[in-house]
Structure 1
Amino acid sequence: MTKLIKKAKNVVKSLIGFNRVKNILPQIKGENLNKSKKKLFHISAFNYGNAGDILLPLALQDTWNMENKFFGWENQLIYPTVDSKLVKKINKSKGLIIGGGGLFLKDTNANNMSGWQWPCSVEMLSKIKVPIFFYAVGYNRFRGQEEFEPIFKENIKAFAEKAVYIGLRNNGSIDALKNYLPNYLHKKLKFQPCMTTFLSELYSNEIDFNCDKQNFIAFNAAFDRSHLRFGINIGEILTDISIVLRELSEIIPLKFYSHMNSDETIIPFLQSHGVKYELVRLNNTHPKHILEAYTKPKLVIGMRGHAQMIPFGCKTPIISIVSHNKLQWFLDDIGMPEWGVDVKSSNFKEDLKLKVLKALENTENNIKYIEKKQKELFEISMKNVREGFSALNTK
């Protein structure tokens, strides 16, 4: 555990000038850090090694700042075990916000205090005196993954009883989490979209989200827990993806957007099938660069949750390769389930190519649809923020 914490902190400090553990986040808006004595305490997986996790904490704070800029932020990495010293720091703040990201996962920062990523025991939770909010958190259990340990059910019940609300980033997560809670606590579960899904609403003055799309497709692959994503057919699935990409590369340029190092596991397959592409690494970079990169493509083919949500938030059409339920849950929530192709589909290769070609023919219509849905997701999010501020201890 100590090695994991040390590694995480080193990643966090890897970009010169940005020490997230000490509260300095890279700014997209270019605003000065708020020095207010009124602080919100933020627990998150601050991380430069994964492009999606670079954006998450910043976008969360900017979402809350849209409603009220008179609060500062105290940032805390999610991995260290919660003790009395940390609780004391939390209680000096006006409120505790946990999120965003897929924090309900048993094997990332595995522990026997909570059963999910933040190792906060029920005993330590009972000592927290400020309002608690979960904001844009996901149930990230993979298909076929082992069930949570029994401590998870006890722990999440205690959090649900104490929290003002638990904001989950898709309705699939809400339905899944209900299985661990008694009926009377289901009302604590709220739909709270990931902040990356309405980036153009947050940063309209900083990024040109209405720029003309360039004539290329960006694609992304994911390989964390690949045995759960693909099963025994991994070779066949990756071959099918590579064949489709090669055929697409003959009619439109391709760029491979790598969110983290393990994404590049697909490269030997691409090379063996003669896929022509440009590699673009988005990890360990400034979040503004990530936004600019995702405003450009005509279409994004993504296997990661944030390889669908970030481009969507940047008004860029998407086709998702579904190797985790969360990707389909997002598409269902935005009313476009057909924008996904499941790796388990018997017609996976044919469906993928057909849907990509159809999307390329409907770029403008898809952008208009995205703009409309983004506004809806943003309005839901700001309503939840307003409810949050109304529950804070502002004395």
Structure 2
Amino acid sequence: MATEYGSGYGNWRDPEVLEERPHRFPAVLRAPFEARSRLEFCHVLLSLPIAVLMFTYAVTMVSVGAGLLITFLGVPVLAAALAGCRGFGALERARARGLLGMTVTEPEPLRVKGSGAMAWTGAVLRSGTSWRHVLYAVLFLPWAVFSFSVALPLWITGWALLTYPLWFWVFPTWAGQGGIQLYGDETHSVYLDNPFELTVTAGIGLLVTLATPWIVRALTMVDRLLVHGLLGPSWLATRVVELESDRGVVVDTAAADLRRIERDLHDGAQARLVALAMDLGLAKEKLAEDPEAAARMVDEAHGEVKTALQELRDLARGIHPAVLTDRGLDAALSSVASRCAVPVEVDVDLPVRPLPAIEGIAYFTVSELLQNVSKHARATRATVDVWKVDDRLLLQVMDDGVGGAEVSGGSGLAGLAERLDAVDGVLVVDSPRGGPTRVTAELPWRRG
């Protein structure tokens, strides 16, 4: 396995991973001035007019189309309504990307069977994505009204109260009163006009101003859920894509294993058997004229036979070890651990044996991880633990080496993670620089 140790952990250049930098002020004080807060507030402000437009279009067009279904005109009108909602959905996904920094995968395209307007109309009406866009247009309006009604007053009130000491002079100069009136009747009035009241007002404004970005952020979380759940690809379509990708990984892995077996046979046992046949042919020729030389050649050929048999046994073990089939994971992993360059403690706690395919994947996962420990970790000891939790098979390999292992493109751990993902498995690597390294794999439990 080609995983590199001691070269750092994590890929901080990944756009999905933001590098944390030290800040002079805490987040609660920075929030009102951050670009993210301004963009989220702008998203909330724009949501109301867009939601009104979407709701009006969707309700009107769907109602007209449903009402005209008794005639032929209702079908194309309804299809146009759904297509228009899909267009609004594209606008909302773009707005979420630009203002909320949210990446939304495009939904599955229309599956048009045939050509012409009728085929397109049927595809639009059959598409569950189209109807989810209509549902978004209907549900988004009440939420947009609520979030707009909360965010805008809070934002205006917070900044107005915070800056009140700077503009309270407007009241005595232009309004003929001391300041903002809190209470007033026929006998007396209360105004915010002295230094203490100005300070308290500004303090309340500061609290509202500091809290507003977090309230707006909480409101936009609902927007994110709506966009992701109704305007993105459906769970079924996402699952189909994952399965197609996993199938490709399985096919590529099987092809790579076949090439490896062919290469090992060609360069190893086959080459030795060819040499053995040549040596035996020479020994046969020398048998009559030089029996002693022929005997030496036969003895050398006997050694080559033993070596070829050992290579074939190693190759068969790499395909599927007999000990795994006969005695299960405990014995098979103990055999692998005995060949590791460092002492390995193995603990397998399984009530019954899993499905042979899952058992084989677990075996080869531990084998590759221990091979990695032998080659790169510079460890003095390692442990292997295998256990079952609910409907998952978990295995963990730990070593006290130098650490720094990472799941990066082209590495052995990356390939191992792809293999596990092909069967709905997960690989988690915890390997800080300096060690220790803990690699945990999770596989679906399928009883054999």
Q: TM-score, normalised by structure 2?
A: 0.21
Compare CA radii of gyration and give the structure with the larger one.
Answer: 2
Greater helix percent: which structure? 2
